[in-house]
């Protein structure tokens, strides 16, 4: 680590960045007030909206209490890990808490405002004001986007301001806190939302033949609650931790490659992004006769284009033309890297939209296969997911290769360029969060309208259009989130290399370590296989959790139909709270096993097999993770929009065999795109951060005078035992709580 002290001018830059972060938070508050100032709708809409809000708040409060245990344990373990001095160790642990708190706070804010905006969008549609409804949904997302940008930038700026040369070590704690909470919120929220959604669809749509948001279905409130705790709270936390972790990697690598300039410049790029995101939100205003998707995309592309130009200028102004030890011009290459990141975001936005949009050929083909039954719908959706994963992964890999070429032969500088491309991509994060939140808000608005019965005719059609656009924006932002995760993980991977080489003193040990990192070394190859395997195991655990929780919902909704026959003719009211409670209990129970796997697997591999195996493990997890995440997200997105195509009247429309086939496809895709797929993003970053944090300890117990094989093997065995025990306990759980007999399961009231 370089001995870095910031100059007066550089400290001024960091202070200005912190002020921009505060300005973003102020704008977020302004957007929030604009949303809350609109008409909340009819009394029945407000009653339903209140039920959804109360359910979402109750879930998050219980989730935060559960996660508090993990946070306390992680805080203590983090404090025990080696650091340069006690002040750094304390700062790392304190900012771990701050990162976790920011992640949780953004998730809560996203959920809270979304539940208030749902009924307001429905009311705008009831008044036939499509543009107003779109603006409310987008400003809701803009609020969360500004909070994401503001808090991420503020946290990083404060660390750099207070700790200067030691900032990279302290930032490891900040990024780890954000990533850990985001992963748990993604997994828990994903299990909740898809358990409710799958249960509601299977019993309501397929068995009882009633609409998706019919008030007779006991799972409808839980389904709407799930959209908010999964898509709003979970995605907001996910993108915040991507923001924080990318900044962590950029500042670590920047300080190693460029010194003090590398410690301040990575803050300037997202600060520019904060300003262009504010402009982008204001630019996103509907025009007469224009599709909402066209409006949103225009705002995104304009803000991205402006950000690219301003960031390039900033690189020439704030970076030196030459640096000692580097035979190249950093300003030109860093500007190119930032622009590559922004272009990558725009291209993946288009690519994901092509494979999942309602107007695209792949999704239309999936809808067409519904004419031959659910099996062909499932097969075609899987095909779309596999194919799109290749194109997306190849695009990201191509970008990384170009960035390494720009590095001019310096590995650390090349990795810094990868991190700066991630920062460039994150200049669009304010718009990305706004686009993502637009989806669940418009979806819930349609649900509230249908349950209340207060919106019909042209108003219902407006909500259908906004919901279809929301499905597309949710899908494309998942693609960008995956790209961000891969760039951040790649940069963290480079930070891991920097950490293990800095931790070794002996030339002989360095040579031995470098030889072990060659891919032909069995230890590295074993690590690659294990890293890929953990991604598969994590995905399987998440989908199994949804299966068990959804099974419980299916049995509960069936039970209510059977024991309350008056539900079908509206003379009895379903017990919505019971379903919300089951979803809450099951999702919180199920999130522990995937979470422990993510944290403990790198510890088991690192201490058990060494630094080379851990390096291979991280490489395997990144490579497999990007393919798996895109496959799951795009398969699910294609199935979801194929269902929308049929519901719009194609291939027989609602109630037809084709519709039933696409509902089944969408049911398969729900845990793909909203549980397992998105959770892989924080997974690969959590594992890279764990590796980065334990690297000095692994090296210390492997090389030099402090080497102790017995101690490191005991640590590895303890981590492995905890993983095995957790998985074994998870597999012992029944398929569904309160499982019925086959005879009971066949009855529907």
Tens of pLDDT along 562-601?
Answer: 888 888 887 888 888 888 888 888 888 887 888 889 889 9
Residue 219 has pLDDT above 90, yes or no: no
Distance in Å from the first CA to the final CA of the chain: 69
Query: Is the per-residue pLDDT at 732 higher than 80?
Result: no
pLDDT tier at 747, thresholds 50, 70, 90: very low
Tell me, what's the pLDDT at 741?
Answer: 40
Q: Report the pLDDT value the prediction gives residue 556, as an integer from 0 to 100.
A: 86
Q: How far is CA 307 from CA 59, 216, 443, 722, in A?
A: 38, 49, 30, 46
- Average the pLDDT over 495-516 and give the result: 70
Q: Give the pLDDT mean for 536-551.
A: 88
- The pLDDT score that the predictor gives to residue 425 is 84
What pLDDT score was predicted for residue 720?
94
The stretch 393-397 carries a mean pLDDT of 91
Distance of CA 458 to the CA centre of its chain: 34
For residue 1, the SS3 value is coil
The answer to whether residue 2 is domain-embedded is no
Confidence of residue 362 (pLDDT cuts 50, 70, 90): very high
Chain-centroid distance, C-alpha 221: 24
Q: Distance between CA 557 and CA 567 in Å, rounded?
A: 11
Q: What is the mean pLDDT of residues 108-118?
A: 86
Q: Which residues of 364-389 are buried (b: 16+ CB within 10 A; e: fewer)?
A: bebbbbbeeebebbbebbbbbbeebb
Instruction: Report the pLDDT averaged over residues 625-635.
Output: 92
Q: What is the pLDDT of residue 398?
A: 92
Distance CA 154, CA 18 (A): 5
Distance CA 439, CA 420 (A): 29
- pLDDT above 60 for 642: yes
Gap between the Cα atoms of 178 and 248, Å rounded: 11
Six token digits for residue 102: 């920011």
What's the CA gap between 70 and 412, in Å, rounded?
33
What is d(CA 282, CA 629) in angstroms, rounded to the nearest whole number?
32
- Up-side HSE of residue 265: CA atoms within 13 Å toward CB? 31
**pLDDT tier for residue 326 given thresholds of 50, 70 and 90:** low
Q: Mind listing the pLDDT tens digit for each residue in 675-710?
A: 888 888 888 888 988 888 888 888 888 887 788 889
DSSP secondary structure of 584-626: HHHHHHHSHHHHHHHHHHHHHHHHHH-HHHHHHHHHHHHHHHH
Bridge partners of 323, per DSSP, are: 326
Predicted confidence (pLDDT) at residue 736 exceeds the cutoff of 80: no
| pLDDT tens digits, 426-447 | 888 888 888 888 888 888 888 8
Whether residue 517 has pLDDT greater than 70: no
Decide if 603 is inside a domain.
yes
Give the confidence band of 735 by pLDDT, cuts at 50, 70, 90: low
User: What pLDDT sits at residue 30?
Assistant: 92
Is 172 within a domain?
yes
Q: What's residue 734's pLDDT?
A: 61
- Which range of 136-150, 252-266, 448-462 scores highest in mean pLDDT? It is 136-150
**Residues making up the chain, counted from first to last:** 749
In degrees rounded to 5, what are phi and psi of residue 285? -130, 135
Does 217 have pLDDT greater than 60?
yes
Which pLDDT score is estimated for 154? 92
* Per-residue model confidence as pLDDT tens digits over 28-73: 999 999 999 999 888 888 888 888 888 888 888 888 888 888 888 8
Domain extent, residue 380, equals 8-745
User: Most confidently modeled of 136-150, 280-294, 379-393, 639-653?
Assistant: 379-393
Maximum mean pLDDT: which of 58-67, 89-98, 215-224, 697-706: 89-98
Distances (CA, A) of 595 to 541, 552, 618, 627: 10, 22, 17, 21
Q: Where is average pLDDT lowest: 111-125, 500-514, 525-539?
A: 500-514
**Rounded (5°) CA angle 364-369-370:** 100
83-88 long-range CB contacts below 8 Å, 24 or more apart? 83/169, 84/1, 84/166, 84/169, 85/166, 87/166, 88/163, 88/166, 88/169, 88/170
**Is residue 367 over pLDDT 90?**
yes
Split into its structural domains, the chain has a count of 1
DSSP letter string over 90-126? HHHHHHHHHHHHHHHHHHHHHHHHHHHHHHHHHHHHH
**CA geometry: angle at 14 spanning 88 and 500, to 5°?**
40
Rg, C-alpha atoms of the chain = 25
pLDDT, average across residues 104-114: 85
Q: How confident is the model at residue 738 (pLDDT cuts 50, 70, 90)?
A: very low
Residue 332 has pLDDT above 60, yes or no: yes
Average pLDDT along the chain? 84
Please tell me the predicted confidence (pLDDT) of residue 516: 63
pLDDT over threshold 90, residue 196: no
The per-residue b/e assignment along 176-214, b for 16 or more CB within 10 angstroms, e otherwise, is bbbbbbbbbbbbbbbbbbbbbbbbbbbbbbeebebbbbb
Please name which of 431, 424, 143 lies closest in space to residue 276, comparing C-alpha atoms: 431
pLDDT over 70, % of the chain: 93
The Cα 414–Cα 411 span in angstroms is: 5
Task: Find tokens 């979806």 and name the residue.
Answer: 443
Per-residue pLDDT band at 169 (split at 50, 70, 90): confident
- CB atoms closer than 10 angstroms to residue 709: 10
Alpha-carbon distance of 672 to 389, in angstroms, equals 13
- Phi first, then psi, for residue 591 (nearest 5°) are -80, -15
The closest alpha carbon to 91, from 171, 150, 177, belongs to 171
Q: Is the pLDDT of residue 537 over 90?
A: yes
- Distance of alpha carbon 7 from alpha carbon 393, whole angstroms: 41
| Of the listed ranges 94-108, 231-245, 564-578, the one predicted with least confidence | 231-245
Question: Cα-flanking dihedrals φ and ψ of residue 373, to 5°?
Answer: 110, 170
Q: Which residue has the higher pLDDT, 228 or 719?
A: 719
Q: Can you state the percent helix, strand and coil of the chain, rounding each to 5? A: 85, 0, 15
Residues of the chain above pLDDT 90, percent: 21
Q: Is residue 1 predicted with pLDDT exceeding 80?
A: no
Q: Is residue 1 part of a domain?
A: no
Q: Which of 75-89, 153-167, 652-666 has the lowest mean pLDDT?
A: 75-89
Q: What is the mean pLDDT of residues 303-315?
A: 90
What are the phi and psi torsion angles at 329 (to 5°)? -100, 105
Q: How many CB atoms lie within 10 A of CB 156?
A: 30
pLDDT, average across residues 634-649: 88
What is the Cα–Cα distance from 113 to 34, expressed in whole angstroms? Answer: 11
Kindly tell me if the per-residue pLDDT of 628 is higher than 90: yes
Higher pLDDT, 27 or 437: 27
CA 90 vs CA 151, 251, 263: distances in Å: 21, 19, 21
Domain assignment present for residue 3? The answer is: no
Average the pLDDT over 332-337 and give the result. Answer: 90
pLDDT at residue 210 is higher than 90: no
């Amino acid at each position: 680590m370089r001995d870095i002290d910031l100059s007066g001018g550089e400290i001024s830059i960091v202070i200005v960045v912190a002020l921009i972060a505060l300005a973003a938070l102020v704008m977020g508050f302004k957007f929030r007030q604009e949303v809350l100032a609109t008409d909340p709708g009819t009394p029945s809409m407000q009653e339903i909206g209140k039920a959804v809000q109360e359910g979402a708040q109750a879930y998050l409060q219980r989730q935060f209490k559960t996660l508090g245990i993990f946070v306390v344990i992680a805080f203590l373990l983090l404090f025990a890990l080696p650091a340069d001095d006690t002040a750094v160790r304390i700062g790392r642990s304190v900012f771990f808490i701050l990162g976790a708190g920011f992640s949780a706070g953004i998730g809560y804010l996203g959920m809270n405002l979304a539940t208030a905006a749902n009924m307001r969008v429905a009311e705008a549609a009831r008044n036939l004001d499509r543009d107003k409804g779109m603006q409310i949904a987008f400003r809701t997302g803009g609020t969360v986007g500004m909070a994401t940008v503001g808090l991420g930038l503020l946290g990083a700026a404060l660390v750099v301001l207070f700790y200067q040369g030691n900032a990279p070590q302290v930032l490891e704690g900040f990024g780890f806190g954000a990533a850990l909470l985001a992963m748990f919120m993604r997994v828990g929220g994903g299990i909740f939302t898809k358990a409710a959604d799958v249960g509601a669809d299977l019993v309501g749509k397929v068995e009882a033949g009633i609409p998706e948001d019919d008030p007779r279905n006991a799972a409808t409130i839980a389904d709407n609650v799930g959209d908010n705790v999964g898509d709003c709270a979970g995605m907001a936390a996910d993108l915040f931790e991507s923001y924080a972790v990318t900044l962590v990697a950029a500042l670590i690598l920047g300080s190693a490659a460029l010194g003090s300039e590398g410690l301040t410049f990575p803050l300037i790029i997202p600060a520019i992004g904060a300003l262009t995101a504010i402009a982008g939100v204001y630019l996103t205003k509907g025009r007469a006769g224009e599709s909402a998707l066209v409006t949103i995309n225009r705002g995104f592309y304009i803000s991205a284009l402006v950000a690219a130009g301003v960031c390039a200028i900033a690189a020439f102004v704030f970076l030196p033309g030459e640096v000692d030890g580097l035979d190249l011009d950093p300003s030109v290459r860093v500007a190119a890297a930032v622009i590559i990141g922004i272009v990558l975001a725009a291209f993946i936005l288009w690519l994901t939209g092509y494979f999942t949009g309602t107007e695209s050929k792949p999704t239309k083909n999936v809808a067409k296969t519904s004419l031959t039954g659910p099996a062909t719908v499932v097969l075609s959706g899987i095909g779309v997911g596999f194919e799109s994963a290749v194109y997306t992964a190849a695009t990201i890999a191509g970008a990384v290769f170009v960035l390494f070429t720009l590095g001019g032969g310096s590995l650390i500088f090349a990795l810094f360029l990868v991190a700066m491309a991630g920062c460039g991509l994150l200049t669009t994060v304010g718009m990305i969060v706004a686009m993502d939140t637009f989806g669940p808000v418009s979806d819930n608005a349609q649900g509230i309208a249908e349950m209340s019965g207060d919106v019909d005719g042209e108003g219902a059609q407006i909500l259908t259009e906004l919901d279809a656009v929301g499905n597309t924006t949710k899908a494309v932002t998942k693609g960008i989130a995956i790209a961000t995760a891969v760039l951040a993980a790649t940069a963290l991977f480079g930070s891991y290399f920097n950490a293990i080489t800095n931790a070794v003193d002996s030339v002989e040990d360095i040579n031995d370590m470098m030889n072990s990192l060659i891919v032909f070394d069995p230890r590295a190859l074993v690590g690659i296989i294990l890293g890929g395997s953990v991604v598969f195991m994590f995905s399987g655990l998440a989908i199994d959790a949804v299966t068990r929780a959804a099974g419980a919902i299916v049995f509960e909704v069936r039970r209510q139909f059977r024991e309350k026959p008056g539900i079908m003719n509206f003379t009895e009211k379903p017990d919505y709270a019971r379903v919300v409670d089951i979803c809450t209990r099951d999702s919180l129970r199920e999130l522990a096993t995937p979470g422990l796997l993510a944290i403990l697997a790198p510890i088991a591999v690192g201490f058990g097999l060494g630094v080379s195996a851990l390096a291979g493990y991280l490489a395997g997890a990144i490579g497999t993770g990007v393919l798996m995440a895109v496959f799951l997200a795009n398969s699910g997105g294609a199935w979801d929009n194929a269902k929308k195509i049929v519901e719009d009247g194609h291939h027989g429309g609602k109630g037809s065999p084709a519709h039933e086939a696409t509902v089944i496809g969408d049911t398969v895709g729900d845990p793909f795109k909203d549980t397992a797929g998105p959770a892989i993003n924080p997974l690969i970053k959590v594992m890279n951060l764990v590796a980065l944090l334990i690297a000095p300890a692994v090296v210390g117990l492997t090389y030099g005078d402090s080497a102790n094989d017995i101690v490191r093997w005991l640590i590895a065995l303890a981590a492995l035992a905890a993983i095995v025990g957790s998985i074994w306990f998870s597999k012992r759980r029944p398929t569904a709580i309160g499982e019925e007999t086959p005879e009971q399961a066949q009855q529907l009231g």
